Amino acid sequence: MTREIRILHTADTHLGYRQYQSEVRRQDFFKAFEAVVRDAIDMQVDAVVHAGDLFDSRTPSLEDVLETVNIITPLKTTGIPLLGIVGNHESKQNMQWLDLFEEMGLAHRLGKKPYLLGEVALYGIDSVPKSKIPTYDYSGFESTEKLWKLLVMHQLMKPFPYGEWDCEELLKNLPFQADAILLGDYHKYEKRKVGETWVSYPGSTERNSAAEREARSYNIITLGSQGLEISRRNLETRKFIYINASLKNEERPYEQIFAAIDEYETELEGAVVFVEISGETERVLSFGEIEEYILNKGALVPRIKDLQEVDSLASKEELRVSFSDPDRAVAEEIKQMELTDGGLIIDEIVRNPLVSKTNVDSEAETQLKALMDKIDFKASEFQFESEFPCSSERVEAKSQAISAPEKGRIKEEGIEGIAEEEKKKRKAAVEKKKEARDKTPELIEKEMKAPEAEAPAKSENPKPSLARKKKKLRTPAPRQYNLGDYL
């Protein structure tokens, strides 16, 4: 090997993450990545490898993209290539943000074709969903005679915590012998040898959660006559302060908490502060008052977590939980809505498991058309009896509003029997009204004259008034209906 190759390995920068809804924290993530790039230029490394999750979101804002371009442009100016893969946070269906930067000449997306850097060949595998790991296609990797072969991935790997893809299985299936796997996705620094291959996570460049207590860092990969070496470099980031306030008694809890906070008073300026309250008390504390006290000490973000053990009935006695039938609960709500026949039809169609979502529109149109065909819009009054099957749950829900004797009858005859009887009553009422509607104007006028003939005459030749004539001859005007009244 003619000369030593040094590669800066970073990952999980999560640019654009507005942690705790704080613009200052959003800027912290950019500052951490900027520090990594600045170190790469100062150390004059041969390349910067980013192992995924450059952005926190697959849809970063335009401001986030422009700030990223400003940070990585100096790498191009100084001739340091930025090599990357796509992480799970930023992954899009088609073109990736990394492709955009490649088109701009600011980065190179690693893949199955190796990127050659002296005697080093670098391959890349974008983030693979857990469900697709067993079927990953290992074919297509181009071979090379280079001395060192590195693989860059964004994956949770075994034997590390939360591993989803076994390193040994991966190495066995690769068509080349990897000297090192440079990883991203796990935010804690890790380095381990699996067989003859070094496997390492550099950790994230900023703390993405309160659980990330260790210092943030990146790796330097050195390849030369002495072999392959991985070293860690820490980053200076915003302080996260962890305070435990243990309450000893019921008296003056706030004074105990404030005293615990004051022990860190010299470190609180600009820090993200986490206060965990423990102990035994039944007093409910105001988090707002505690947060205000921390902010007044100069902290950037206060976070409170109450871990107190509060005595409760549920902790001493068996907790019984009952669940309502969802169909019955829905039927109760539908009953209170007092829907029309059209509304009930639509409700039944939407909730019918036998009607697919793609057929809801056509089924509703068919049922409503049948409803409209049966309605006589010229009649002064009408009632439509829906033939759409009414669920027993709905009938049962309606029975809850009837009297106690009726409930007893329902118990004896059954819900379905009562429903059938009610259906018959409604049908009889409809037929009766239909008979009334079928009467001709002549029959109506004859019925109106009959009582007059039986009544005693007031005069021999009564002269009907003009208004009375009009009243006899006038036929009721057809009532106007709106289709919306039945939906």
How far, in Å, are 88, 187, 411 from residue 212 at the CA level?
Answer: 19, 8, 62
**Beta strands 5-10; 82-84: pairing state:** unpaired
Separation between Cα atoms, residue 357 and residue 380, nearest integer Å? 38
Give the angle 375-380-386 at the CA atoms, nearest 5°: 30
User: Which residue bears the tokens 């309250």?
Assistant: 277
89 is catalytic: yes
3-state secondary structure the chain: CCCCEEEEEECCCCECCCHHHCHHHHHHHHHHHHHHHHHHHHHCCCEEEECCCCECCCCCCHHHHHHHHHHHHHHHHCCCCEEECCCCCCCCCCCCHHHHHHHCCCCEECCCCCEEECCEEEEEECCCCHHHHHHCCCCCCCCCCCCEEEEEEECCEECCCCCCEEHHHHHHHCCCCCCEEEEECCCCCEEEEECCEEEEECCCCCCCCCCCCCCCEEEEEEEECCEEEEEEEECCCCCEEEEEEEECCCCCHHHHHHHHHHCCHHHCCCCEEEEEEEECCCCCCCHHHHHHHHHHCCCCEEEEEECCCCCCHHHHCCCCCCCCCHHHHHHHHHHHHCCCHHHHHHHHHHHCCCCCHHHHHHHHHHHHHHHHHCCCCCCCCCCCCCCCCCCHHHHHHHHCCCCHHHHHHHHHHCHHHHHHHHHHHHHHHHHHHHHHHHCCHHHHHHHHHHHHHHCCCCCCCCCCCHHHHHHHHCCCCCCCCCHHHHC
Q: Which of 9, 50, 89, 187 is catalytic?
A: 89
Catalytic (active-site) positions: 89
